[in-house]
Structure 1
Amino acid sequence: MPVEISGRRPVSSWMELIKDTRSTFHDKLHRIYGDNDDLRIEAVDMCLRSLEAFTERYGADRSVFIIRSTGRVNLLGMHIDHRGGSVNPINIKHMWLVVEPRDDEMVLAKNVESNDFPDEQFSISRCLPAGKKIENWDTWCHEEYEKRRNDTSVSWSNYIRAAVLYLQHLNTKDDGSFNPAIRGMNMMVYGNIPRAAGLSSSSALVMITVEAVIRINSFDIKPADLVEHWGFAEWYVGTRGGCSDHAAIIYGRHHTILHITAFPLSVEEASLPAGYCFVLVNSNVMAKKQAGARDIFNSRVAGYIFGLMLIRKNFPQYAHKLERLRDINPERLGVDESQIYRMVKSLPACADRTDVLRLLPTDEQKIHRVFRSHAEPAEGYPIRQVCLYGIAECIRAEMVPQALRAGDMKRFGELINISHDGDRVTKLVDGRRVPTDNSYPDERIDALISDLESGDAGRMTRAELWRQGGGYNVSLEELDTLVDIALATEGVVGAGLVGAGMGGCIVAVVENEHAPRLIENMVEQYYQPRNLPVRAEIITPVGGLCTMD
């Protein structure tokens, strides 16, 4: 017999509750969406469609949970959360899950949009090693990814598997027995977070599954208790990101900009000053985390890892303070910015795998573990410019709360613009789009040191560490074009790519009165000339992950 779990209701009871605008369900919607009637109406429609689809596909009047997750837009602190850097996200859009527990260990994943997301299912025990506990989650995830690399029969449910299998891994004894065994689920998912757009639709699915497993199995934990684990869970799909997206999804609040730092986790809140809004612009180029794109993402992370290892080796007097890339910081090390530049200069501008092994002869085993996450970059690892980007971005990310609380929108926009400059692959010169050069040869580093030590206020200001874009270089010409259109529009204070890059969206911060003109400019200068669907909109920060009980 099914075990009754607090928070479940029959589908018919949920529908009555949703249709009663004075119910506790609508009270919760107000807490999630504030006074935004359009978002609340959209949420109600999506939730009802999810319940109807569940009934059609699984049977009438089952007893279910309703769980809601969101996407996120990271405004600043790009590509650094896995290196200890802070992020500054807002939550947007919705993802809904109607779910019931099963009496076995099968997980059935279905989606309202079944044409785009075919039905998938899996057995929990058959996906995990028999008779033993996974010793190294990273290694096991890599091995499993290699096994299914060319298997197209499983796609979107890998993110569901990531959450379920990781939670079962956490509840496995050394002999491989489950303690307890996680129950299977019948799932119906429906979301409007654009896919492959840099808005964390994948992490939204991971976290909605985490919440479902916790609820169904009555685990005495909350997602926030283990937030740093959820990034590890998502390694199952092949990427090597951090936990900031998952933290944003957990802690999001309407009309709130979060400032999240990991290791250890801390969360602050700020608000966008009155008179400004966010405009999200989708390039219509999908940022797929597959094949070559995944190799680029993971090779950039490798550049961070190798750079930190080299700086520890080259500057042993600081090694005990350098746990993560964010620690290469003047305040942390008690040095001036000129010394940070000297540390960056000690890194190779570019290195192939042979170079990396030669430069770090005592770390061969660790280096090979990093290599296996991606194909070798044809042009080598641009270690110096990647590390400078990350070091400077960590500083920029920490400046955001102060700028917002002071109402300094000029500084806030400047931070976003410099961050995107470090990702650029093109720029406009005399009306022509040309490739950027984000490299930092010795003479460029020497010039920055000279400026800092010149005593000239103007030169010293221009050479400040946070003002350096570095060179992470994961934008595309389309994203750079959107940013340049935005920055040429009156009232825009800042614009930059969103997410891991290689496609997806940009976000612009703009004065309210100029937001419609910004969208018109995008239509006239980007979408219409390319005959693309218009996907530009004003977005509102909303609340995060929750169970509707």
Structure 2
Amino acid sequence: METNPPKLKAVIAADARLQKLKTAFENKYGECPAFYASAPGRVNLIGEHIDYCGYAVLPMAIEQSIIAAVSVNQSGSIELANTDPLYRDYSVSCTADIHIDRDNPHWFYYFLCGVKGIQEHCGIRELAGMRCMVDGSIPASSGLSSSSALVCCAGLATMEANHKMLSKVELAEICAKCERYIGTEGGGMDQSISFLAEKGTAKLIQFNPLRSTDVRLPDDAVFVISNSGVAMNKAASNHFNLRVVECRLATKVLGKALGLDSTGLMKLSQVQTELQVSLEEMLRLVEEKLHPEAYSLEELTQSLGTEVLETVLTENTMHVSLFQLYQRSRHVYGEAQRVLRFQSVCESGGADALSQLGALMSQSHASCRDLYECSCPELDRLVDTCLQSGALGSRLTGAGWGGCAVSMVTRDKAESFLRAVREAYYPEDPRRTALEQQRPLGDPLEQQRSLFVSAPARGATISVE
């Protein structure tokens, strides 16, 4: 694996998307870009909502990406524009303290998260002036990590414009932290795969320390992404952060019930590490030590104390009065088991490997739906449709509450599967039909379709002409 994001010699004329972006940049700013920064989206094959609990996940990068065409100057400002007219321009002074408005998560604030993260990490007093034109082919609010890819793209562009040299791991860790400027308490999976991905392989991403391992997917299987048509913006609600908080509270309560010093415990994986027991044993301990009924704020205050609660709750979860600790813990420990089993099956192969992998994916969805409660009726309907259309396994991917499902299908049945899902799910709602437009293969807009096969793509890059 390369230490730093690779610099590629871009053949602009042969790349329709880059040519279109270059033309848009020149029309906007009257000059040529100096370089292009690119960061892919991702699909998480299995391991949902467990990265921020300290457990390994198993995503792959997808071909859809965020690309920024960038020029560098001494103007003292950073100018941002987007090829999509729905997203307005924005500019900020290089000398000003960059402000991120959590209450209005516009696209440019995600970009500025990446800028601010690099600035603070590298101790840059005055940033280089930049003109940036951003183009995205990842459907927004679809669970394919469009927001994190934008943060990563911005971080990479800022590093390059300011002549800094950071490793992929450093960039991933910086971008995971700086996305919290906009209020999302993620665990780092999205940023890690965006930087660490390699073409042709999925990755087992592990944390503390951050590292990745190639996971070769079965040759006779393909993974199909399908958009439910329901948008979900993590930063615009408290659904995501509430789950993070519930897992932190579960860590504290479980640790205390097991006689551990819970002062420094914030992740469910830390409880397992302290006890040095298996995930199966952790599931047993959850059954024994946590009650299925919701924990009230009063009960948690009596158990943990007001000061502890204040360190765990986020700004947008302060008003919550009931917390599901038992259900969230069961999901996390069970999902962590499924990730390791998925990796093991991929490594060992065998005649029934596909059926095993499919079963693990479907079990993951059931857990997300019933224990983590991060699905929605449309996603459940889409997953059922995919299974009825020939998928060996199907599950929501990403934060949930909308967005996409990922399904595993045998290569020889991919076309019939796409046709069956397209006919069964999308005509039910005119909005879905509009999403899933028929476009010829090779059309640049093909990447924005709502039902497509994706192979593991490469990670973030800098391209120059």
TM-score over 0.5 for the pair: yes
TM-score bracket, normalised by the shorter chain, equals 0.7 to 0.9
Q: Map of 1:113-124 to 2, 5 A cutoff? A: 113=84, 115-124=85-94
| TM superposition shift of 1:422 | 1.1
- Once residues 287 and 248 of structure 2 are traced to their aligned partners in structure 1, the CA distance between those partners, rounded to angstroms, is 13
CA–CA distance in 2 between the matches of 1:339 and 1:68? 40
Correspondent of 1:538 among 425, 429, 453: 453
Amino acid at match of 1:218: H
| Aligned residue number for residue 282 of structure 1 | 227
Number of the residue aligned with 1:524: 423
- Give the partner amino acid of 2:70: V
Q: What's the secondary structure of 2:238's corresponding residue?
A: helix
Distance in 2 (alpha carbons) for counterparts of 1:63 and 1:478? 42
**Cα deviations by residue, 1:445-496 (Å, 9 ceiling, x for unpaired):** xxxxxxxxxxxxxxxxxxxxxxxxxx00110011011111112233x22110
C-alpha RMSD over aligned residues? 2.5
The answer (yes or no) to whether the contact 2:283–2:330 under 8 Å persists in 1 is: no
Q: Distance in 2 between matches of 1:339 and 1:260?
A: 21
Measured in 2, the distance between the counterparts of 1:392 and 1:103 equals: 53
Shift of 1:338: 5.1
Query: Is there any run of 5+ residues in structure 2 with no aligned partner, and where?
Result: 1-6, 437-449
Q: Which residue in the other structure is 2:331 paired with? A: 389
Q: In the alignment, residue 267 of structure 2 is paired with which amino acid?
A: R
Q: How far has the Cα of 1:211 moved from its partner?
A: 0.9
- Distance, in Å, in 2 between the alignment partners of 1:234 and 1:207 is 9
1:488 aligns to what?
A: 388
Residue pairs, 1:185-264, within 5 angstroms = 185-264=130-209
1-structure distance, mates of 2:77, 2:276 = 51
| 2:370 pairs with 1:399 | no
Matched, 1:356 2:356: no
Q: 2:411 aligns with which of 512, 522, 527?
A: 512
Q: 1:81 aligns with which of 26, 33, 51?
A: 51
Q: Deviations over 1:393-430 (max 9, x none)?
A: 11211222211122222221121111110122xxxxxx
Tell me how far 1:304 sits from its aligned partner: 0.3
User: How many residues were matched structurally?
Assistant: 437
CA separation of 1:412/1:330 partners in 2, compared to 1, >3 Å: closer, same or farther? farther
Alpha-carbon deviation of 1:124?
A: 4.1
Q: 1:502 aligns with which of 401, 405, 410?
A: 401
8 Å contact from structure 1 (residues 353, 376) kept in 2: no
* One-letter amino acid of the counterpart of residue 164, structure 2: F
Q: Which segments of 5 or more consecutive residues in structure 1 lack a partner in the other structure?
A: 1-6, 22-43, 130-143, 173-178, 425-437, 439-470
Contact 2:43 2:59 (8 Å CA) reproduced: yes
The answer to whether residue 35 in structure 2 is matched with residue 65 in structure 1 is yes
- CA distance 1:348–1:18, shift in 2 (3 Å): same
Change (3 A) 1:281 1:379: farther
* 1:135-214 paired onto structure 2 within 5 Å: 145=101, 149=103, 151=104, 155-172=106-123, 179-214=124-159
CA distance in 2, matches of 1:73, 1:337: 27
Higher relative contact order (CA 8 A, sep 6+): 2
Aligned position for 2:440: none
2:268 corresponds to: 325
What CA distance in whole angstroms lies between the structure 1 residues aligned with 2:368 and 2:429?
A: 23
- Deviation digits for residues 354-390 of structure 1 (CA, Å, limit 9, x no counterpart): 22212212xx334224323324576721111011101
| Aligned counterpart for 2:73 among listed residues 84, 89, 102 | 102
Q: Give the percent of matched residue pairs that are identical in Structure 1 and Structure 2.
A: 26
User: What is the CA distance between 1:76 and its match in structure 2?
Assistant: 0.6
CA distance in 1, matches of 2:381, 2:282: 36
Q: Do the aligned residues in 2 keep the contact of 1:68 with 1:94 (CA within 8 Å)? A: yes
Check 1:336–1:266 CA distance in 2 against 1; reply closer, same or farther (3 A cut).
Answer: closer
CA contact (8 A) 1:198 1:500 kept: yes
Q: Equivalents in 1 of 2:190, 2:275: separation in Å?
A: 25
Residue aligned with 1:510, SS: strand
Distance change (3 Å), C-alpha of 1:317 and 1:111: closer
* Residues 1:498 and 1:377: Cα distance change in structure 2 (over 3 Å): farther
* 1:477 correspondence with 2:428: no
